[in-house]
Amino acid sequence: MSAAGAFLQALQSELGGTIRFDRFMQEALYNPSFGYYTARINTVGRRGDFSTMATLDRSLAAGIAAWIQKQCPRDVIEIGGGNGQLARDILTSLGWWKRRSIRYHLVEVSGPLRETQKKILRGFRVRWHESLPAALEASRGSATLFSNELVDAFPCRVLERVEDDWQELHLRIEDREFRQILQPCTLPDSTVFQHPFRVGQRVEVHESYNRWLQAWAPLWKSGSLLTIDYGHTMPTLYHRRPQGSLRGYAAHQLLSGAEIYQAPGRCDITADVNFSDLQAWGESLSWGCIPPSKLAAFLGPELPPRFQSAAEAFQILEQSPHAETH
């Protein structure tokens, strides 16, 4: 049995016989010894297991740079910088004079990616932090923040509609195979449960992202937060998707079903983002927001036609730590 398998077998015993899916995803992606992001991943893009829009075209960087300039910030914090290419292209788009007036911070929990970023960003003035609270402390709570494809990397809970209720996905290791088990649960805070679904519908809730927001929100005093990710608002998010959106990627190959579980730490695991949840969670913190919209509209005419369909699958959400409506 692999080190990951042995660890998860012991964890299963500790937890009483099953592992709730979000805990499995946490270990598969972030376990210090075998997690995909913490121990395996070295790059993102054509040579990695998956590409992001930032690694395929510079129009995203140009759009974010234009948005940053409108904010007139002293401190800019990028959360989860991938391979560093987006930061490099944003700083290049800002130009030498504008770069002099801002302090650019990168928050990155992945050691391998942090080293890759430092190579790509050699020559630029960038400060690295292992947590957002550390970056906010360095900027005294006043900063323009943004992330690209960050939320989908947070462990999610997976729930399935049963006759008159919902049950939650757990995994059980039997004969070195992962088997899916549905168990009764206490529902997380999510807009998904406001909509009627047929029996068998699966949904994902990024509850760990909500907890993360709650942890650092008191430290953020002023600025704006731009969130970019693939997903949609409710109920469109699950239109004709009875199995939900959970999937994995390895060497640019799509993994689904049991394939996601069988090699913990060897593939990326992701799920589409419910932007209705992000808006509601921000409102619970008294944040103001501009309602979610498509990334294609945000980028406008600068978006090359070949990336139009990809940008249509992405949403953006702009929030601020003030309750005023924008």
Q: What is the pLDDT of residues 10-50, one digit of tens each?
A: 999 999 999 999 999 999 999 999 999 888 765 554 544 55
pLDDT value at 302 more than 80: no
pLDDT value at 155 more than 50: yes
Q: Report, as an integer, the average pLDDT of 151-159.
A: 97
The tens digit of pLDDT for each residue in 57-89 reads 788 999 999 999 999 999 999 999 988 999 999
Model pLDDT, residue 224: 97
The tens digit of pLDDT for each residue in 86-109 reads 999 999 999 999 999 999 999 998
Task: Decide if 326 contacts 288 (C-beta within 8 A).
Answer: yes
Its sign, for the CA torsion 89, 93, 94, 97, is: positive
Taking the C-alpha atoms of residue 173 and residue 4, their distance in angstroms, rounded to an integer, is: 12
Q: Which residues make Cβ contacts (< 8 Å) with residue 144, sequence separation at least 6? A: 68, 71, 73, 75, 76, 77, 223, 224, 226
- Beta strand pairing status for 253-255 and 247-250? antiparallel
Task: Decide if 278 contacts 154 (C-beta within 8 A).
Answer: no
Torsion of CA 221, 89, 291, 234, to 10 degrees: -120
Q: Which of 45, 26, 80 is nearest to 265 (CA)?
A: 26
Residue 176: band (very low, low, confident or very high) from pLDDT cuts 50, 70, 90: confident
Class of domain 3-316: alpha beta
pLDDT value at 323 more than 70: no
Model pLDDT, residue 79: 98
Which phi and psi (to 5°) does residue 151 adopt?
Answer: -60, -40
Model pLDDT, residue 325: 41
Taking the C-alpha atoms of residue 242 and residue 199, their distance in angstroms, rounded to an integer, is: 9
Task: Decide if 7 contacts 33 (C-beta within 8 A).
Answer: yes
Task: Decide if 194 contacts 295 (C-beta within 8 A).
Answer: no
More confident residue, 7 or 325: 7
- Stated as kind and residue range, the H or E segment containing 68 is helix 59-71
Q: Provide the edge-to-edge strand list for the sheet that holds 253-255.
A: 253-255, 247-250, 268-270
pLDDT value at 53 more than 80: no
The pTM is what? 0.92
- Stated as kind and residue range, the H or E segment containing 33 is none
Model pLDDT, residue 263: 84
Model pLDDT, residue 45: 47
Is the preceding omega at residue 321 within 30 degrees of 0, hence cis? no
The tens digit of pLDDT for each residue in 180-205 reads 999 999 999 999 999 999 999 999 99
Annotated domain spans of the chain: 3-316
The tens digit of pLDDT for each residue in 222-273 reads 999 999 999 999 999 999 999 999 999 987 789 988 889 888 998 899 999 9
pLDDT value at 1 more than 80: no
Model pLDDT, residue 56: 57
Q: Which residues make Cβ contacts (< 8 Å) with residue 3, sequence separation at least 6? A: 33, 34
